[in-house]
Amino acid sequence: MPNLTDPKLISGNANNPLASAIARRMSMHRGMSVDLLDARVERFNDGEIFVEMYDNVRGEDVFIIQPTSNPANDNLMELLIMSDALRRSSAQRITAVIPYFGYARQDRRTKARTPITAKLVANMLVEAGVERILTMDLHAAQIQGFFDIPVDNLYASPIFALDIKSHFKDQMEDVMIVSPDVGGVARARELAKRIDAPLSIVDKRREKPGEIAEMTIIGNVEGKTCIIVDDICDTAGTLCKAAEVLLENGAKEVHSYITHGVLSGPAVERVTKSVMKSLVITDTIEATGPVEAAPNIRIVPTAPMFAQATLNIWNGTSVSSLFDNETLGPIYEGLYTV
């Protein structure tokens, strides 16, 4: 049954532009104004985080928009403290909208005496009062099982499919989707199916962590416009190397579509100097100045999808319906011409 209260949004400091865009989109979808709650999120001189709500949230359905991107620890603590403040202010339900779920790469023990930090973060969020999670492209889908509360995991592939059909409409017969590793095949296959394109795989062998000894292409990429698809681009070393190997194997050109542009350290410089024609990322992580200035990096919006998903959670309707082109297309109408 639909909630009788209006949805309330609040943003931490991690990605204010995305939070504002979600609020604007929700206002468009509802036909009435949806504003971010007035709150103070600041730090004491020693870095300690303090949160104060200025608006009354008693009995309200509140959505905290806060990716746990760099600085991951600060942004995670902001999210936890905001949730605690809302719980103690008698909010009816607290949903954490985490466009980029940090620590997701630590979802299993890869060697002895290591943590499963993704599970620890899940426990902390629930303990802080979060009752539902809305995120996008979890690094590993099984992380949903770390929570004993509902988790809605959105996918960027429907948005990427719209973007690819728009930007490559004159060469769709030559497009080939490429998974950068065996672990990402399911994600790449799903996008390939959406745009009716063939699939190739980059198989990489490591001698030791962080160093790639050999890359092998599974599939014929000769004369193809290759599109590498992945969920995270951190330092971009593997991505740029994969692009080089694809061109060496006869690919016509290489583009990349990555959900979360972490782009730390030398990543932007590597991408700018790489053989890739373009790197397309979403705005789940706020873009830095160098990212915005990079000539071959382009950002696609996720606010329309997050706004509609938030409204669907609020009014008790399907979130998975957003994975269908018939539903998502109208939401992105005006942004893409296919």
Give the residue numbers marked as catalytic.
Answer: 204
Map the chain to HEC letters.
CCCCCCEEEEECCCCHHHHHHHHHHHHHHHCCCCCECCEEEEECCCCCEEEEECCCCCCCEEEEECCCCCCHHHHHHHHHHHHHHHHHCCCCEEEEEECCCCCCCCCCCCCCCCCCHHHHHHHHHHHCCCCEEEEECCCCHHHHHHCCCCEEEECCHHHHHHHHHHHCCCCHHHEEEEECCHHHHHHHHHHHHHHCCCEEEEEEEEEECCEEEEEEEECCCCCCEEEEEEEEECCCHHHHHHHHHHHHCCCCEEEEEEEEECCCCCHHHHHHHCCCCEEEEECCCCCCHHHHHCCCEEEECCHHHHHHHHHHHHHCCCCHHHHCHHHHHHHCECCECC
Rounded to 5 degrees, φ, ψ at 134 are: -125, 120
Task: Please check whether residue 92 is in contact with residue 99, taking contact to mean a CB–CB distance below 8 angstroms.
Answer: no
